[in-house]
Structure 1
Amino acid sequence: MTLAPEDHTQQIPQGSYYSQSLPPAPPAPPTPPLGEGSRPAPKRESRVGQTIGVALLAAVLASGGTYAATQLGDQGTATSPTSTTSTTNQNQGSSPTVVQGNATAPDWTAVSAAVTPSVVSIDVTTQQGSGAGSGVVFDKSGHILTNNHVVGDATGNGAITVTLNDGRTYAATIVGTDPSTDLAVIKLTNGPSDLTPITLGDSEALKVGDPAMAVGNPLGLSGTVTTGIVSALNRPVSTGTASESPLGQQQTSGDEVVTNAIQTSAAINPGNSGGALVNAKGELIGINSSIASLGQSSSGSQSGNIGIGFAIPVKEAKSIADQLIKSGKAEHAFLGVSTRDTVVSDGSAKRAGAQVVAVNSGTPAANAGIKNGDVIIAVDGQRIDSATALVAQIREMTAGDKTTLTVIRDGARQDVPVTLAVKPVSSN
């Protein structure tokens, strides 16, 4: 099923931020018409094969992205019937790494004990209302990584309160927000010296079926953990910047969030957004952010978990967090094309892809020789079967990255090397 971000008439509508009961902040300026794979019109075309319309299913940017993936892979062979913890992490003072004694049956009790001290509950209050979500301790200086939709409405006129796992509560201020990736960093005011930053993992090492655990604050129940499996990787998820008003009415602002997400089967409920998705070692692999939703009940209440949730990979989250801490803003990679969904012949088969309808002069795409009519079907070997998938793939990269686009031009495949630039700031 496909769904345009602006279309709320489908069976699976655009969702709302589950952490928020606040009206949205004023809409951000629209992005430039020639972005990293922007679409000239919201109407989506049918595609051959598995068009990942999930993002397109309309992920609910939920402050409840309870994610639980599962990781077997590089846990190693079983050497002991039990699990033990180790503190030999890359970051001194960070959460301990769990060494699983049995990779096929992770000791989630040990993982929970290692991770929960690094996950916090976040409460936001403005004149319009209040809301709650989750976050992770990013460093010893008191920086907390969370979703923009958890704290964004507090910019300029709200109060943020952070409660640690042990019950201590601190005020916090916004360091920086990045609506286009739905990430934000806040900082504790006069935070304690004994914070436990979460240990960062490798989201690129994940495999479908790997085990993992989600930790967060669903429905105000802090320290809640859930487990599940990684259902899919590189899932292009497209959502609007939506929030739930105090009266239960969905409202959507102009910023579109596009994520090359980790999909999970773990339970997702209001309040989990911004929380941790960790592997069986207790390492952060994603920031829970959204769910697919079947819509609202007849009473107008929000729908909950249906077993399809999404998390922002830690590689992207760390890159944005580092930039926000350094300068309060984040730069994004830029290709410089407008694309649309299409289906193209690939030999004797048909294939979905992103067809280039405009190339802006002086951009990386133009410099690389990308032409109108080219159909982009892969980026660095990762399949691209929609305009949204192209945006998601480019957005998780950084300016200066060298990548290879596989395109079909005049019926033949060819690889085009491209060096991405910094996305220009919108002028309108």
Structure 2
Amino acid sequence: MPTDRYGWDARDVEGASGADPQGGPAYGSPAVGADANTDPQGEQPAASPGWSWGTGPDAVTTHAAGGSAAGTRSRRGPGWAGVAGLVMAGMLLSSGLTLGGVIAYDQVDGDSTPNAATSSSSPRTADAEPVAKNGESPDWEAVADKVSPSTVAIDVSTGSGSAEGTGVIYRDDGTIITNNHVVSGAQKVEVSLTDGRTYTARVVGTDPTTDLAVITMQDPPGDLTPASLGDSDSVEVGEGAMAVGTPLGLQNTVTTGIISAVHRPVTTQGESADPSDATYSSALQTDAAINPGNSGGPLVNASGSVVGINSSIASFSQGEESQSGSIGLGFAIPSNTVKLIADQLIDSGSAKHALLGVTAQDGSQQVSSSTYRGALVHSLEPGSGAADAGLREGDLITQVDGVPVNGAAALTGMVRGLEVGSTHQLTVVRDQKETTLDVTLTEAS
């Protein structure tokens, strides 16, 4: 695997065995902000070796937190791609600086070709029930007791080997949420409950754009415990967090830490040098240890509610054969995005994505003595929400609903997590003045 001059690399940390893998997950599906006037691949930035910070110091590129059991080989996964040029807001593209050594993000599993299917009728999901705390300190023992039965280990067989990951029981009919890269390329899927019982599962639907997937157990038992999904918008920096999963094949492993950041722009680059082979998200960042095998598992708060699905980690490379591991920089897909996409996958096997309708790049503008950073609008798609809202070429988007946008990748990740038809307030700098615009997102084709 190519590495840059600082020795960093990005690799998939899922488990792989058998024949030499044919590559990591493919993330080049149509994206949230696709421009109908570009070619089928969109307007692609040029790629170069190295790490990419999509929007300056707040955006990072990672690999997925897949896992491998002892005695198996890791399969090469997402690498870092230096990105330049334009990015479609909401697409799997980013722009910004290419640094010699930053952070690598791992993703879990191989390519998948799922069969779309719908879920069974009237399944039961879980209601949030707070777990007791000892004074002001979280009772992590009680949290683990609540969440572990809702967490499963996932074993996947592909044409090139095998892989391991984690999943979250979403409904009592055996519906499970995990990462797309965990079940990508799956020919056989098995899930193991916390008590050791193992069941065959099939893929219901996948969404490479958000790196989410839904699988369902065949002939599930009647005593499944669905997880309760919390409100990721209410998560605050500094609050406690627990990650549950199957790192390195060690099922039912729990680790604790805090929420280190919210709305963190994260770029996960696929194995291909093509910059479209990447995913972008506005992630929760945690220092709870996340390692190979944790991908698809829950990140929970002190009440035992799932606030994110663990998907990637940042790690150092120490050589071509090195395995990625936790350095206290883990990332999770927010639970509100998870629910939005998972419900669509259950209903139809696919998901719709919102379109802002701009092509943007990292930029900055002066207002009096202050410098504002954001996503600089290069062009607009006619008839899009952005065009209808009065956005103009040269506008600098600095906030979405009051959340800072420090560059094009941050805007991309934010739009990806929003609902088609929803209305949001953009803060823009135009002619050295701040103004706000209300924009209604349309559906990406």
Which TM-score tier does this pair reach, normalised by the shorter chain? Answer: 0.7 to 0.9
Instruction: Give the alignment partner of residue 288 of structure 2, picking from 258, 261, 266.
Output: 266
Q: Aligned AA for 1:131? A: A
Distance 2:437 2:136 in 1: 42
Name the counterpart of 2:364: 343
Q: Aligned AA for 1:329? A: S
- State yes or no: 1:395 paired with 2:395: no
- Deviation per residue, 1:388-411 (Å, 9 max, x gap): 000111111100110011111111
Instruction: Give the alignment partner of residue 117 of structure 1, picking from 130, 144, 149.
Output: 149
Shift of 1:256: 1.8
Q: Aligned AA for 1:60? A: Y
Shift of 1:103: 4.6
Contact 1:406 1:414 in 2 (8 A): yes
Distance 2:35 2:135 in 1: 46
Name the counterpart of 1:106: 138
Name the counterpart of 2:327: 306
Q: Aligned AA for 1:238? A: T
* Moved segments of 4+, more than 6 Å: 250-253
Distance 2:206 2:169 in 1: 16
- Deviation per residue, 1:244-287 (Å, 9 max, x gap): xxxxxx98884321110000111121000000111111111100
- Superposition pairs for residues 21-420 of structure 1, below 5 Å? 21=16, 22=21, 23-24=23-24, 28=28, 31=31, 34=35, 41-42=45-46, 51-55=57-61, 57-63=102-108, 94=126, 97-154=129-186, 158-242=187-271, 254-295=276-317, 297-298=318-319, 300-420=321-441
Cα distance change on mapping 1:418 and 1:185 into 2, 3 Å: same
Structure 2: runs of 5+ lacking an equivalent: 37-41, 63-101, 110-122
Contact 1:98 1:111 in 2 (8 A): no
Contact 1:215 1:226 in 2 (8 A): yes
Shift of 1:241: 3.1
Shift of 1:350: 0.8
Contact 1:147 1:274 in 2 (8 A): yes
Shift of 1:362: 1.1
- Deviation per residue, 1:307-366 (Å, 9 max, x gap): 111000100001100000000000111101100001211231112111001101111111
Cα distance change on mapping 1:333 and 1:12 into 2, 3 Å: farther
Please give the TM-score of this superposition, normalised by the length of structure 2. Answer: 0.79
Cα distance change on mapping 1:238 and 1:307 into 2, 3 Å: same
Distance 1:351 1:251 in 2: 32
Q: Aligned AA for 2:236? A: K
Residue 229 of structure 1 aligns to a residue in which SS?
Answer: strand
Shift of 1:41: 2.7
Distance 1:137 1:12 in 2: 38
What is the number of residues matched between the two proteins? 377
Could you say what the CA RMSD is over the residues aligned between the two structures, in angstroms? 2.7
Cα distance change on mapping 1:26 and 1:293 into 2, 3 Å: closer
Distance 2:221 2:408 in 1: 45
Cα distance change on mapping 1:51 and 1:346 into 2, 3 Å: farther
Residue 101 of structure 1 aligns to a residue in which SS?
Answer: coil
Contact 2:59 2:409 in 1 (8 A): no
Q: Aligned AA for 2:108? A: S
Q: Aligned AA for 1:62? A: Q
- State yes or no: 1:9 paired with 2:4: yes
Distance 2:104 2:179 in 1: 14
Distance 1:93 1:416 in 2: 37
Residue 336 of structure 2 aligns to a residue in which SS?
Answer: helix
Cα distance change on mapping 1:277 and 1:26 into 2, 3 Å: closer
Cα distance change on mapping 1:103 and 1:203 into 2, 3 Å: farther
Cα distance change on mapping 1:30 and 1:139 into 2, 3 Å: closer
Please give the TM-score of this superposition, normalised by the length of structure 1. Answer: 0.82
Distance 2:133 2:286 in 1: 24
Shift of 1:148: 0.5
